[in-house]
Structure formats: C-alpha cells, structure tokens
C-alpha cells in the first residue's frame, strides 16, 4: 500500500465519520477497503493535470531552479508521481 493511498483513504474516512469515530488504525482491512477504493478513484481523477497545474509546475521549476521545462515534461512528471501514489 502506498503511503499516499493510505493517507487519502484515512482522510476520506475521517471526513465522512467525523470526531468520535473509531480511529483509522483500529479499523480492520475489510472496513478500510471501500475507503481505499474511493482514494484510488480520486487519484485516478487527478491523473491528468490541467493546463493551469502544468503552468504552475513549470513556473515553480523556473523560479526555484532557473530551469524552463516543456509542458509535456511537467505533465509526465506529475503523472509519474500520481502513478506511484496509486501503486500498492
């Protein structure tokens, strides 16, 4: 289970169940599975960055590293990171 998938599933669980719910770490795998499925769906929806996201990534790279990158490169990096987040 990737750290990001686990984190997203926990946030979904806590958001739906609120204060006073059984802590995530005490839930068994069977109970967690629907939240993992929801987290996978969210990560899949994020898989293709918007033009604005690519622009922001390119601007940040230029600002911090002094490097200009092709939009396709930024989008590919973003997809690679999300692919890793979804991996198990």
Token output for 28: 């068994």
Span 17-30, pLDDT tens digits? 998 899 999 999 99
Percent of the chain with pLDDT strictly greater than 90: 53
Which single residue is written with the structure tokens 């059984």?
A: 22
Question: Under a CB-based contact definition with an 8 Å cutoff, are residues 58 and 20 in contact?
Answer: no
Closest CA to 82 of 52, 34, 44: 44
Specify whether 22 is located in the same domain as 55. no
Question: Under a CB-based contact definition with an 8 Å cutoff, are residues 24 and 13 in contact?
Answer: yes
Specify whether 3 is located in the same domain as 35. yes
Structural domain including 7 reads 1-45
What pLDDT is attached to residue 23? 96
Q: Tell me the C-alpha distance between 8 and 58, whole Å.
A: 26
Specify whether 17 is located in the same domain as 4. yes
Q: Tell me the C-alpha distance between 72 and 80, whole Å.
A: 12
Specify whether 26 is located in the same domain as 54. no
């Amino acid at each position: 289970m990737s750290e990001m998938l686990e984190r997203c599933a926990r946030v979904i669980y806590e958001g739906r169940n609120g204060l006073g719910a059984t802590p995530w770490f005490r839930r068994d795998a069977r109970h967690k599975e629907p939240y993992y499925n929801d987290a996978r769906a969210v990560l899949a929806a994020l898989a293709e960055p918007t033009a604005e996201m690519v622009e922001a990534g390119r601007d940040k790279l230029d600002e911090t590293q002094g490097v200009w990158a092709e939009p396709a490169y930024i989008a590919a990096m973003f997809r690679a990171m999300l692919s890793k987040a979804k991996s198990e």
